[in-house]
Chains A and B, each alone.
Chain A
């Protein structure tokens, strides 16, 4: 690696010093005395943000694969509903979708006694299932469209080689088509996952306590505005950085073309 040398160039040293100074100034001259009191709640919120992100990305992607496949090669009665779903999801604000599910669906359920009496009721009366559902559908809608292009973009020769060697269709899909499709859109998926992270604060509007709503709580309790928001920005940046790094790692594991340098 030529890594460390690169950091020793004058303009980089200057920028790093500037950044360190900024951090130091933030730490010394801003108010952080609220932190110990709210740290447990913040950790709880952070944890909720992370698991909501992971669960909705995983479930959403699991839905996106059939949605993309249906649009890429499905018969009209599969591709048309898939396309309609993606269009509606992508054409309406996520906030609206969350509210429609929570205030609409969520207020419909209690009217049916058999739902109120069901095993699921303890969950259905909480807010987070609606948050998870809305974010999952949203991710599925966007990624369904991405996967449609991804499936179509896989080189036909790759699939032909698989057929020529007698691979059954399921094996071709599992071993060749799907991995190559995902590989082709990994950079896009990484970006979309970061967008999904930044969409999670919306669930605070339906009373789910995640990291953003903790910062609101601090503000309304203590009238301290900027410090919690700055810390919140830092937290999101760190998570986004980790996502970007993770996707980069996966990309590097399967190089499809020689890298420069």
Chain B
């Protein structure tokens, strides 16, 4: 499955799933994001690449307000997040509601260790979205089956490999039927031999038209699965465009150098 065929599969007049405008984020005096604008239509897979400290994870974490932006505009599925002048969320309820539409997958998996995989997957549907338990369970079983963990439903996360945990974390994110999935370096904490199984799951999601923002170090994978790639350098977008253009014929000298070093 390539980015090209994905694009032709996408519905023609695609609506905007995520819009980020002039996003700034400072930690104290350190400005990590210096005015980043980004948009993703429904069905887009946007890969965000860049060196460490370029602000790519911070950008992703600002979108669901795990980090509070300093200023800017964020619109998720047509709804603008109300922000005060200092960038803090004006309405906690709104943030909580929008977060349930954004399925996040973390570098460190962050499965809830005191609950089994099945309990992890039904947690948000049952206790946040108030889905009837039986319905949530049957859906969760389907999702666990999809990521190849049907037989591990009653296992606690600590008994699983990193790859299995990350696949379960993806099932947990899918359980809220998110408008947009946010992947924060989903394979960076995995042993090399376990990366493949997680990428396979993400690839399948891309193929079925899930909207995704993907912060990643896997350049080959980004090129294969994304239809838009953003290269961040020191908190600004240095270059962006279709993957073939970005990876095949990069214009920016910094991007060229970055691609050489990461291989």
Contact = CB atoms under 8 A, between A and B. Distances in A.
Interface of A: 155, 157-158, 160-168, 171, 175-176, 179-180, 183, 254-258
B141 interface: no
Given A157-B106, A161-B112, 16 more contacts: A157-B108, A160-B66, A161-B111, A163-B66, A164-B104, A164-B106, A165-B104, A165-B172, A165-B176, A166-B96, A167-B128, A175-B123, A179-B114, A183-B114, A256-B158, A257-B158
Given A256-B156, A257-B158, A167 B112 contact: no
Given A157-B108, A171-B127, A258-B159, A166 B98 contact: yes
B128 to A, nearest CB: 6
Interface range, B side: 20 to 34
B114 A161 contact: no
B245 interface: no
Contacts of B83: none
B114 A258 contact: no
B143 interface: no
A157 B172 CA distance: 15
Contacts of B114: 179-180, 183, 254, 256
B182 to A, nearest CB: 8
A160 B124 contact: no
B61 to A, nearest CB: 9
A160 B106 contact: yes
A6 B10 CA distance: 65
B158 A165 contact: no
A160 B96 contact: no
A165 B124 contact: yes
A195 B123 CA distance: 36
